[in-house]
Amino acid sequence: MNELDLKLCDIQGRLFELSVTKELSSEHFITAFMTSDTAKHLDSRYNKLQWMGEAYLLEEIISNISQEKTDDGEVFSKDVLYWIGYIYRYWHYLTGDDSKSIIKIAPVKTMKRNYMMFHTMDPKLAIEKLIEINQKK
How many C-alpha atoms does 17 have within 13 Å on its Cβ side?
A: 15
- Report d(CA 75, CA 62) in Å as an integer: 15
51: confidence class by pLDDT, cuts 50, 70, 90: low
pTM of the model as a whole: 0.90
Q: What is the pLDDT confidence band of residue 66, given thresholds at 50, 70 and 90?
A: low
Contact 88, 100 (CB under 8 A): no
Contacts of 22 (CB under 8 A, 6+ apart): 58, 62, 70
For the chain, give every domain's residue range.
3-136
